[in-house]
Chains A and B, each alone.
Chain A
């Protein structure tokens, strides 16, 4: 494995099985350090504590759902620029648009393999602000989301 500074990733999902799978998978796939949360509120707490480089968010969660978490993160200057990836089982277009409007960088449809997620994180982190804007536009036009 390449000896590079670990990338801290926060995964927020209410499904414990998936949390552990993604965590284990990411750690194997690259220099990732994974922290986890099971709902939106816990997600905010962990974010404040760990300051991850990237956040993976599931849509359907109790208490604070995925969209609300994204809005909360974007609203706070500390987290406004952090790349966010939304992970969901919802397939309708309006969900995708909704994700885009709330400021998500990437919208991925489950099932997603840990390595696919790792690649997505690399891509996202490697983007310049300009490229980021382009990506938003691509999302809006409904072009391919996965990098």
Chain B
């Protein structure tokens, strides 16, 4: 099964996958063929023994051993191919063939001399050359052709196994030309295979490129449509509200009291403001698209930002009065930008209240954690194995997120199918922006959820601490559940 084109980093991955599948299939058939061929080759010798016409001899046992050995090596080749070790697999399939051909040719020459059929036998090396290319790689193919030509020369000129008919130097011109022809054929075939395979691989890669681009474009198009529908839908309610207030104002302007008129105008203004917030949110994502803005990091105290984020939560979305438990390491600081941190926290808290029922608690924890350094960072930073990061978690007890949909959450424009059908307002931009902001601050953001309603989701945000500040060693003091009145 080819993996999702969108998840492939580039077309090369797709192409390599396709190649691997092809090799596994090929190696399967060739190892079967090999095994059968060995059975036939060795088996012919064994038939007289099996039918009882000849006693068991050492030769018979050796032959049986040879059969077993070669058959298992072939099957090993297939297994290696499935493990992705294509060169090793190709060798397992090719070496027994090579040995068989060589033995056969030598024994033929011993019996019949260097005749046309001996040359034909040596020409069987030609089978190995394309096999090496198809099952292994081009390097293996050239090694094979070198081996094959060396073997051809060796057998033709040296004849090692028959002392009685050890060839004298000085071969006839016919013999020399035959051998040269063979070797030229072998190399010619190798070059042919090389061109064919290169062309084939180039084509495959181009096809892979096209496939990846097409899938990406299609997915983006779908997401765009979904986003437009979503935003379109969400703009209409506030616009209707605003027009409604103004329509009422128009109808009642002569008869209504001043206070009433003022109230209506205020309501229309507020609705206008929320419309603007929605637009700003959308534009944020657009701006992130067009390139990161200047990032000037500084040491940011977390607690004040949390407080401000709480104050920014829209009471209409909060689903009533909510209990928020804060557990913050005193004086915890991160290295980043206050506005970005505020935006992320506002989004996470807002999501937590929006996507969980009234009465369920929300927990926010800030604490230092140790994180293993990636290889890349080790090279830059030094010998330390671990580094300290500040981790902020926001946990709600809502419906949670089905684990298979977690990768979707941080994609642009995406809202989970469940949320699209609900009445909760959202435009799918928030978490995408959060991730971009977090990564812009050299941090990480992710979510864990079992998908079980009631267990909710936990969003993790990790950011680096300020470089020169020592992270406080005090344990986080769990504060008394702090009811945040949001309704």
Contact = CB atoms under 8 A, between A and B. Distances in A.
Interface of A: 14-15, 17-18, 21-22, 24-25, 28-29, 60-62, 89-92, 109-115
B251 A15 contact: no
9 contacts: A15-B237, A21-B248, A25-B247, A25-B248, A62-B422, A91-B229, A91-B232, A111-B239, A115-B251
Given A25-B251, A28-B251, A28-B252, A18 B423 contact: no
Given A24-B248, A62-B423, A17 B241 contact: yes
Contacts of B248: 21, 24-25, 28, 114
Given A14-B423, A21-B241, A111 B247 contact: no
B236 interface: yes
Interface in B204-259: 229, 232-234, 236-237, 239-241, 243-245, 247-248, 251-252
A18 B248 CA distance: 12
Interface residues of B, number: 19
Given A17-B241, A28-B248, A113-B243, 11 more contacts: A15-B423, A18-B240, A21-B245, A25-B251, A29-B251, A60-B423, A110-B240, A111-B243, A111-B244, A112-B240, A115-B251
A109 B243 CA distance: 14
Nearest to A112: B240
Contact of A114 (B236, B239, B244): B244
Contacts of A14: 423
A18 to B, nearest CB: 6
B236 A111 contact: yes
B232 A21 contact: no
A125 B421 CA distance: 32
A89 B241 CA distance: 13
Contacts of B421: 60
B244 A113 contact: yes
A70 B241 CA distance: 24
A111 B239 CA distance: 6
Contacts of B423: 14-15, 60-62
Contacts of A61: 423
Given A28-B252, A60-B423, A89-B233, A115 B241 contact: no
Name the residue among B229, B234, B240 with the largest chain A CB count within 10 angstroms. B240
Contacts of B244: 18, 21-22, 25, 111, 113-114
B247 A114 contact: yes
Given A14-B423, A18-B241, A60-B423, A110 B247 contact: no
A34 B244 CA distance: 16
Contacts of B241: 17-18, 21
Contacts of B234: 89
Given A14-B423, A25-B251, A89 B232 contact: yes
Contacts of A110: 236-237, 239-240
A18 B237 contact: yes
A115 B237 contact: no
Contacts of A115: 247, 251
B251 A89 contact: no
Contacts of A62: 422-423
Given A62-B423, A90-B233, A111 B240 contact: yes
A21 to B, nearest CB: 4
A15 B422 CA distance: 12
A111 B237 CA distance: 7
Contacts of A28: 248, 251-252
Contacts of B229: 91-92
A89 B423 CA distance: 12
Contacts of A92: 229
Contacts of A109: 236
A79 B234 CA distance: 31
A89 B236 contact: yes
Contacts of B233: 89-90
Interface in B381-428: 421-423
Contacts of A60: 421, 423
Contacts of A90: 233
Nearest to B232: A91
Contacts of B232: 89, 91
B423 to A, nearest CB: 5
A68 B292 CA distance: 47
Nearest 8 CB-CB pairings of A with B: A111-B240, A21-B244, A89-B236, A110-B236, A113-B247, A28-B251, A89-B233, A111-B239
Contacts of B252: 28
A119 B248 CA distance: 15
Interface string B172-214: 0000000000000000000000000000000000000000000
Contacts of A112: 240
Nearest to A29: B251
Nearest to A90: B233
A21 B236 CA distance: 14
A73 to B, nearest CB: 21
Residue among B229, B239, B245, B247 with max Cβ neighbours from chain A (10 Å): B247
Nearest to B422: A62
Contacts of B239: 110-111
B208 to A, nearest CB: 35
A78 to B, nearest CB: 28
Which of A18, A29, A110 neighbours the largest number of chain B CB atoms within 10 Å of its CB?
A: A110
B227 to A, nearest CB: 14
Interface string B261-297: 0000000000000000000000000000000000000
Nearest to B244: A21
A70 to B, nearest CB: 18
A22 B239 CA distance: 13
